[in-house]
A and B are shown apart, each in its own frame.
Chain A
Amino acid sequence: MSALNIKKGSSSHSAYELRDPNGDLIESHTLTAVVANESGVLARVIGLFSGRGYNIESLTVAETDHASHLSRITVVTRGTPAVIAQIRAQLERMVVVYEVHDLTAEGPAVQRELALFKVAGKGDVRIEALRLAEIFRANVVDSTLESFVFEMTGTPEKIDAFADLMRPLGLREIARTGVAALSRGA
């Protein structure tokens, strides 16, 4: 299976189970959980990851339904298919968790992250940073004579790419929100 290098499991839409459930190929998955918006819930979810040695690449959480006291946690994690399945099962059995989706396995999903970049510089470097920001459709949200703060929304890959470009141009600080994601379609 690893020879095929099928990273993201679109397997549930395939006629064949292409992924080996016991394979050792490490995959990155975006899981989303609707949870009760109560104190201690986030700690319980994070405790599951640290207590069982699972990996967290990014994590976002915010209330999404005030009337029903529900929040959505979106977590990007890495592991073999068996580990990912186990993380999902462990999340699903938690008393505070209402539903869990593996957006990577369940089909097409949109993923977005917001990031702020502080870039300091003068002269040509400064102009180059601004030019690249336009190409990436980043907004200038703060400006001094020697610095910009750019705001950008996109996939984590796009934000990584922009950060790589800004680094030689005077990148000082980055703040990222982590991934928010929803499945495509109704």
Chain B
Amino acid sequence: MKTQMTGARMVVQALKDQGVEVVFGYPGGAVLPIYDEIFQQNDIRHILVRHEQGAVHMAEGYARSTGKPGVALVTSGPGATNAVTGLTDALMDSIPIIVLTGQVPTFMIGTDGFQEADTVGITRPCTKMNWLVKDTAKLSETIHLAFHVATHGRPGPVLIDIPKDVQFAESTYVGPDAIKTPHYQPRTKGDPAQILRLVEMMEAAERPVFYTGGGVINAGVTASTLLRDLVAATDFPITSTLMGLGCYPASGKNWLGMLGMHGLYEANLAMHGCDLMINIGARFDDRITGRIKDFSPHSRKAHIDIDPSSINKVIHVDVGIVGDVAEVLADVLAVWKQRGSKTNKPAVAKWWSQIQQWQAVKCLTYKNSTKVIKPQHALERLEALTKGYDRYITTEVGQHQMWAAQFLGFEGPNRWMTSGGLGTMGYGLPASIGVQIAHPDALVINVAGEASWLMNMQEMGTAMQFRTPVKQFILNNERLGMVRQWQELLHGERYSSSWSESLPDFVKLADAFGCKGIRIDDPADLDEAIKEMLAYNGPVIFDCRVEKHENCFPMIPSGKPHNEMLLGDADTQGVIGAKGAVLV
């Protein structure tokens, strides 16, 4: 298809041709021509946010919950700089999003014009790729290429900066077919020789463990299905990072729970004691490895990842397989079946009995109370009362995020949206709106802390305007809980600026936004209040007043290996040395 049109119309046409149904954005001087085109059509829905950071997180929530790329549209200068946190977040967690920014006209670039910023310069380190399009003739092709780059290989954020004169000028539109064979074609098929080596290692393994991550989710629903098949075929135990929750069902019999700094005892000890670690789509993040020197010291390690630079970046592995998780898992299963492979059953059974001893420790045990709501208890009740719902969970960042990961169970992929790599407070509320826009009839809950939630609370206006009935489940301890916990453990209980002082009255705040507010502080009222939240057809701000000084356990202190885990307050005295204190 070749037609003459303005650059602004090209943007809308290209988005349509890429199958985009919704754009999250905020208008401004440098994107007015594009907004004018959006006004004159009905195929693409525009969600007006309250702050550009919110737009990008909504696009992330949309992308993470659908597997499709999310799109944000913002103006030049402050619009673009406000998008930077979201771009970095998407880069760290490999979320495919396309951000379109307006720019001052080409003839003004470099003159410090009004709302001018060097957007491609500022966003270069926080995008997978970005472009400044100075010629309308190249605009449609660049947008199609941007979608290709964002969704191929390791997904990530891309940005297209479009000067205003380029939006007004006319040129020839080209459709997505114009970039049939883009140069960027990352390898998706794993090396057969390495796959065979992995299968041989799996046949011989005595103490194996699958260590899975967000890459399984990014590889699509098929990858999760194949992973389940492989776990069933081998009966090996499986753990996952924060980003990978849901790729294997929490109710599955081989599930060990999340691993890492606040991961489960059995998951971390299985990682420490295994003789074969099979990393599928995870990246040996420092929240996972702890002290590198003592990380899983007796294991051979295999690593499946679509990004070649992930392999041997942090941990040296014995077998590195570069490829798409779904394709590699399909090949592994095919080789497994073709060879009639069998595991070392007696050894694996012995390994399982060891793991069962670790499971018997019941590391998530906490001291419940009838006087004050324990955050863990609130989440256990939320989990119990939302069983059977078509449920999506987003979170903010901090203690509540870790408790949510520990106490909520995920049966499938794309149900859990959280800021893992960057740890962006303020992610959860806009992300929940993005998820709800994609799944209007589902139950979408943002598990939040009061401090994180305040960072982007303006987006409640967006939730109201677009009738997204998102439930804001705020575990309110009037503290920056994770900061407070570290100050207790590392800084002599000097609680420097970790109170949430002068908090708003969340019920009145809900009232001000026009949605429902609920406050509780008595454990006896918890179930009724959660049911009331679930029954309400609209957004709810749920102010759950919880124990103020609860710490999140288990915890591997910074700079410690997996087998030096703290299980509760009694373990914490003087365990973190000066070396650990410099780590984050």
Instruction: Answer yes or no: are A and B bound together in one complex.
Output: yes
A residues neighboring B (CB under 8 Å): 21-22, 36, 39-40, 43-44, 47, 51, 82, 85-86, 89-90, 92-93, 95-96, 98
Partner of B129, one of A43, A90, A95: A95
**Nearest-CB residue, chain A, relative to B311:** A89
3 smallest A-B Cβ distances: which pairs? A89-B309, A95-B129, A89-B308
On whether the beta carbons of A82 and B312 are closer than 8 Å, the reply is yes
On whether the beta carbons of B149 and A40 are closer than 8 Å, the reply is no
Q: Which residues of chain B come closer than 8 Å to A90, judged between CB atoms?
A: 309
Sample of 16 more A-B contacts, CB < 8 Å, known A86-B312, A86-B313, A89-B308: A21-B316, A22-B316, A39-B132, A40-B121, A40-B124, A43-B121, A44-B124, A51-B125, A89-B309, A89-B311, A92-B308, A93-B186, A93-B308, A95-B128, A95-B129, A98-B183
Q: Which residues of chain B come closer than 8 Å to A86, judged between CB atoms?
A: 309, 312-313
On whether the beta carbons of A95 and B308 are closer than 8 Å, the reply is no
From known contacts A21-B312, A22-B316, A89-B311, infer whether A47 and B124 are also in contact, taking CB-CB under 8 Å: yes
B207 within 8 Å of A by Cβ? no
Partner of A93, one of B120, B124, B132, B154: B154
Q: Which residues of chain B come closer than 8 Å to A47, judged between CB atoms?
A: 124-125
In angstroms, Cα B183 to Cα A124, docked, is 60
B543 within 8 Å of A by Cβ? no
On whether the beta carbons of A93 and B153 are closer than 8 Å, the reply is yes
In angstroms, Cα B125 to Cα A39, docked, is 15
Interface size on B, residues (CB 8 A): 21
Interface string of B302-318 (1 = CB under 8 A from A): 00000111011100100
Q: Which residues of chain B come closer than 8 Å to A22, judged between CB atoms?
A: 316
Q: Which residues of chain B come closer than 8 Å to A82, judged between CB atoms?
A: 312, 316
In angstroms, Cα B121 to Cα A93, docked, is 20
In angstroms, Cα B309 to Cα A85, docked, is 9
Q: Which residues of chain A come closer than 8 Å to B120, judged between CB atoms?
A: 40
Q: Which residues of chain A come closer than 8 Å to B130, judged between CB atoms?
A: 40
B69 to chain A, nearest CB (A): 15
**Nearest-CB residue, chain B, relative to A98:** B183
Residues of chain B from 107 to 138 with CB closer than 8 A to chain A in the complex = 120-121, 124-125, 128-130, 132
Q: Which residues of chain A come closer than 8 Å to B309, judged between CB atoms?
A: 86, 89-90, 92-93
A81 to chain B, nearest CB (A): 10
Q: Which residues of chain B come closer than 8 Å to A44, judged between CB atoms?
A: 124
Residues of chain B from 299 to 341 with CB closer than 8 A to chain A in the complex = 307-309, 311-313, 316
Q: Which residues of chain A come closer than 8 Å to B311, judged between CB atoms?
A: 89
In angstroms, Cα B132 to Cα A44, docked, is 13
Q: Which residues of chain A come closer than 8 Å to B132, judged between CB atoms?
A: 39-40
B184 within 8 Å of A by Cβ? yes
Partner of A43, one of B124, B128, B184, B312: B124
Chosen A-B contacts, 26 in total, with CB atoms closer than 8 Å, are: A39-B132, A40-B120, A40-B121, A40-B130, A40-B132, A43-B124, A47-B124, A47-B125, A51-B125, A82-B312, A86-B309, A86-B312, A89-B309, A89-B313, A90-B309, A92-B309, A93-B153, A93-B154, A93-B186, A93-B307, A93-B308, A93-B309, A95-B128, A95-B184, A96-B129, A98-B183
**Nearest-CB residue, chain B, relative to A22:** B316
A132 to chain B, nearest CB (A): 45
In angstroms, Cα B316 to Cα A85, docked, is 12
**Nearest-CB residue, chain A, relative to B184:** A95
Q: Which residues of chain A come closer than 8 Å to B121, judged between CB atoms?
A: 40, 43
In angstroms, Cα B130 to Cα A51, docked, is 17
In angstroms, Cα B130 to Cα A44, docked, is 10
Q: Which residues of chain B come closer than 8 Å to A89, judged between CB atoms?
A: 308-309, 311-313
B190 to chain A, nearest CB (A): 16
Q: Which residues of chain B come closer than 8 Å to A85, judged between CB atoms?
A: 312
Interface string of B517-537 (1 = CB under 8 A from A): 000000000000000000000
In angstroms, Cα B132 to Cα A47, docked, is 17
A43 to chain B, nearest CB (A): 6
Q: Which residues of chain A come closer than 8 Å to B128, judged between CB atoms?
A: 95
A133 to chain B, nearest CB (A): 43
In angstroms, Cα B308 to Cα A28, docked, is 22
Q: Which residues of chain B come closer than 8 Å to A95, judged between CB atoms?
A: 128-129, 149, 184
A107 to chain B, nearest CB (A): 21
In angstroms, Cα B293 to Cα A22, docked, is 12
Q: Which residues of chain A come closer than 8 Å to B125, judged between CB atoms?
A: 47, 51
Residues of chain B from 455 to 504 with CB closer than 8 A to chain A in the complex = none
Interface string of B194-230 (1 = CB under 8 A from A): 0000000000000000000000000000000000000
Q: Which residues of chain A come closer than 8 Å to B313, judged between CB atoms?
A: 86, 89
**Nearest-CB residue, chain B, relative to A92:** B308
**Nearest-CB residue, chain B, relative to A90:** B309
Q: Which residues of chain A come closer than 8 Å to B154, judged between CB atoms?
A: 93
In angstroms, Cα B121 to Cα A96, docked, is 16
Q: Which residues of chain A come closer than 8 Å to B129, judged between CB atoms?
A: 95-96
In angstroms, Cα B312 to Cα A90, docked, is 12
In angstroms, Cα B149 to Cα A86, docked, is 22
**Nearest-CB residue, chain B, relative to A96:** B129
Q: Which residues of chain A come closer than 8 Å to B124, judged between CB atoms?
A: 40, 43-44, 47
B93 to chain A, nearest CB (A): 17
B212 to chain A, nearest CB (A): 21
Q: Which residues of chain B come closer than 8 Å to A36, judged between CB atoms?
A: 183
In angstroms, Cα B132 to Cα A51, docked, is 21
Residues of chain B from 553 to 575 with CB closer than 8 A to chain A in the complex = none
**Nearest-CB residue, chain A, relative to B306:** A93
In angstroms, Cα B184 to Cα A98, docked, is 8
A101 to chain B, nearest CB (A): 15
- For B153, B308, B311, B316, the residue with the greatest tally of chain A CB atoms inside 10 Å of its CB is B308
**Nearest-CB residue, chain A, relative to B152:** A95
